[in-house]
Chain A
């Protein structure tokens, strides 16, 4: 059996897989068992029986206690799903989706998956990435790398859009459950990611919920009764939302009540949500000290970016229409396939290798990494001290010197922190690892402790706390994307 390398877009609402075509070397989607390029990320568990995809989605409101959706929004949290008395976690549910993808790919290609790359939102934290990797492992996939969704979409654009003008592009990725925006410098043979911003709890589902609220209110006004959830659910909302993208007004019939909803009404309701995505663009531009005039184009990714209000809002901001390149539901998976191929050159055939050989990808740190230390002021409060700043090009290695605070100090707390925004308050940072270093006897105040964080190309970070005088040290490896570290 031949071996293949695939890219997987594990989405909030849909998932899909792609591969580099054996003849052309270009990325292409792998259809599922039903012939569709994307599979709903919905799981139904009925006793021992597990159904993933469209059938599970169809049962979402018929058997709500047996169906789980939007699991990606909860991965890395302590959320539990109790189905038929059995406890499931977002990680175990995600692994069922990945298992289905794996089976479909193997069935279609009649090949063994040697290696896979999975995409995650750029603003996913260490924990969420770790849990995604655990899910992949549990599904029987060999995943050595994870790639950020907008980076994957940028790769697709760079690879498939021949003759694109070199320069800065914004990748606007509005998916079903998350929103990401990345600024990258793209040329025909290189994607250089500069920065990413994102909103984890902003997606097409939130827009659907706004439509549900409008319908519920109108139904009550017209009938005097509350609208039961099952009579207009998220599936209905999604369908009518798509209709509203094409029509100025729609009519919804529920129990002989005719409810008219205009696009203007819907847009008024979703404007604050779209504004959040625009603020992410502005934040990304501000962090690079760029103006919108310096951006070549905005590339739309994710199904929700088809919404007319989104396209018009970006056009207002950019001064020209954003680019809808290919199928926005597929760009991420296609880019993941390119990334997977790039990381597994040895497993490619000649055509595939030629296609990506000269192609370069550079990425940046999507978070700030630091440690906790006394802030040096009179108040002597513990503060977060950043060592590697967000948007630092990787790989990188940065050291900072600290000192002991009292005579005969016996130990120091070696914490590794993570945060998107540069925070000083420990309450607003995530402590991803924590260890105590015992200091030698007679350690005096003011002795130097060198803290070095090295963010490696394989997406791991080596952290070292060194008491310079004695050579005592604590080393720890943190995994951002890789399975091969602790």
Chain B
């Protein structure tokens, strides 16, 4: 009899633990839908960051506040924090982060989570905090891009750094529009990561992502920026690059399968013709 009571007691206790765990889980999920906006000092992130936080983490809004400055900005426990900071910088380089851009950051984190055997709430919190820190710092108009150089070159090999730049490009072309500030930011990040603007793989990735996007600046300067022509070069050097670019896009024009891609390639050719006519 006594044994039966003990067994019943143990079973009840186990049921209690299971129910408690389920209850806690539901509570956490419920918390996840709460708005986190009030904790952000940035006035540009408010609407767009909400789905990001609620969609991925289980933390309360009070967990997030940024007291980071440019000296502590690059402190990290997980390498991914560094990447997320850079991606956030890329996303808000044009002063706002839209849902497409935040989705790319989400995708990046999802990929990292898949490759990690164990990931904890703490890990997720750190990733979130990285976003808050980056957005906070940028909203206060501190752009610590040049400072990231050492940390990245120490932690990531060249292929990985170019992979990071590809994530930046995905952000840049997420809304199918490319803006001057975004390209400038991409180039700044590439330089900080020690990737030359004419690096073969970097250029190839850029071609692919830019092909899918519309560039908003039709000026000669804008064209040079979009095509990655260093504005500091002499006209003679630029002319050589323009001819090479012309060869490249002229060759691709007939190979591209997508009609829109072909239109974009034709636009490049027309723009290069325009550039060349201004620099006889």
Contact = CB atoms under 8 A, between A and B. Distances in A.
A278 B266 contact: no
Nearest to A128: B254
B253 A276 contact: no
Interface in B237-275: 239-240, 242-244, 246-248, 250-256, 266, 269-270, 272-274
B14 interface: no
Interface of B (DSSP majority class): helix
B251 A276 contact: no
B252 A272 contact: no
B229 to A, nearest CB: 14
Interface in A354-400: 377-379
B243 A272 contact: no
Contacts, number: 75
Contacts of B256: 428
A271 interface: yes
Interface residues on A, range: 20 to 34
Chain A contact surface mostly? mixed
Interface in B213-243: 239-240, 242-243
Given A271-B277, A279-B242, A421 B204 contact: no
A440 interface: no
Contacts of A439: none
B75 interface: no
A201 interface: yes
B208 interface: yes
A378 B240 CA distance: 32
Interface residues of B, number: 29
B253 A201 contact: yes
B273 A421 contact: no
A420 B250 CA distance: 9
B242 A316 contact: no
Given A276-B273, A286-B243, A379-B159, A430 B200 contact: no
20 contacts: A199-B269, A201-B266, A272-B276, A273-B273, A276-B246, A276-B269, A276-B272, A278-B276, A279-B243, A279-B273, A279-B276, A280-B250, A282-B239, A419-B255, A420-B251, A421-B252, A425-B204, A425-B208, A428-B251, A428-B255
Given A272-B274, A286-B240, A424-B204, 14 more contacts: A199-B250, A274-B277, A275-B273, A275-B277, A279-B246, A283-B244, A283-B247, A286-B243, A379-B159, A419-B251, A420-B250, A421-B247, A423-B251, A425-B207
Interface of A: 123, 125, 197-201, 271-276, 278-280, 282-283, 286, 316, 377-379, 419-421, 423-425, 427-430
The 3 closest A-B pairs by CB, nearest first: A421-B251, A420-B251, A272-B273
